[in-house]
Structure 1
Amino acid sequence: MPPFGASRIQAQDRARRAGTRPRTNHTLETALSILRDLARFLTEHCGKDDWALVDVHDVEAFLATSPKARKRRLVVLRQFFRFARSQHIVLIDPTRTLIVKERNGFRGRTLTLDQQRELFRRWTTSEHAHPHEALLGMPALLHGASSTEVRMLQITDIDAAAQTIRLGKRPHPVPLDPTSWTVRNAAWLTARHGRRPTRT
């Protein structure tokens, strides 16, 4: 029974003879390094030294150690576990139900409640915060606007009569609370008159 690395080299040779595009040596080396990293992770963090003991949770935990490399790693692991199953090394492929693309959603750092309160006070009461800073910050703080939605915001997205704002591709305009509307008016006055309005 040839090991996984040998099977990849044999596939590379077959591709050359067939005139198709064989995997490069670098691709093969990368695949083996990913398997090496997985083996170390399983031994050091999961206490497992047998491929047959690996389950989907172990693989998911390994992929989570490097989210940016998830796609490349999962492709290699699928190839390996398909091979392992064909050779009866494992009974079940633990990568079968995993998806390459992670779920959409924000996964970055978030502010603590105290930090959010501090920003809210700065944007609503401080004389040192420019109104435009508050205009861009309040939609994110109070309405969950993404950086893209804030960056693409235009004056035509603001409906003065309805006191709403259209954010990105959201299906409905977002109603602005009194504080957000006050911030919007302060920023508009600053742009119109070229000066910082006095807060009341």
Structure 2
Amino acid sequence: MPSPRIAVVSCMRPGAVFLADECGKSDWALVDVHDVEAFLATWPNARKRRLTVLRQFFGFARSQHLVLVDPTRGLTAKESNGYRGRTLTLDQQRDLFRRWTCDDEVHPHEALLGKRPHPVPLDPASWAVLQRCLTHRAGWPTQNPHVMVNKGTKVGWSPASTAYLSHVLHQCSYPPRMIRGARLVELVNTLDPKLVAAAFGMDPQVSLIHLADYVDPGRIPASTNSGAV
């Protein structure tokens, strides 16, 4: 088991580097609670241990009048219940959208929509994808009622398996869970989470987990950044 001294060094050194490089803070007295939270978020599994060390350090620093305020005060060791799954970046989303709407060589099943508990109006891009899938299906001599038909289901009535759906997405290099997570995060943070939950057949509490406390700079209007009124 590492000694207390080693534990302090293993936490404070990366903490100091993070605060200097990522937060632009070169003085412990300038560190605030948001800086501490950002540092703790870099390694969620070590949150409790790192927060304990930081509390000890800032408690000592405050007693020595090196800082006026303890930035760890009020923070809890319990991790938040927010969504932590991997999602696509905006650039990856754009590349995937272009792949599914502009590349005729891509298999139409890649972008096919999943099941919905309620009828949902389709946007033009989704409608075009559905039309491609129906055209592809028309080339198969089958009585299967499902839109997505493959070699294994063309002679029966069952839907395509989950394994097939995962295999189809291998060509785009992104797993289904990652794509679904990115889609839910996008919808929940731009629409009403309750509406998203209803559309996807989810529990409202599950959709709320996908709410983010960070806004991508690319989504902020230029006038906001420039201070224009």
TM-score (norm 2): 0.42
TM-score (norm 1): 0.48
Higher relative contact order (CA 8 A, sep 6+): 2
- Computing the radius of gyration over CA atoms, which structure comes out larger, 1 or 2? 1
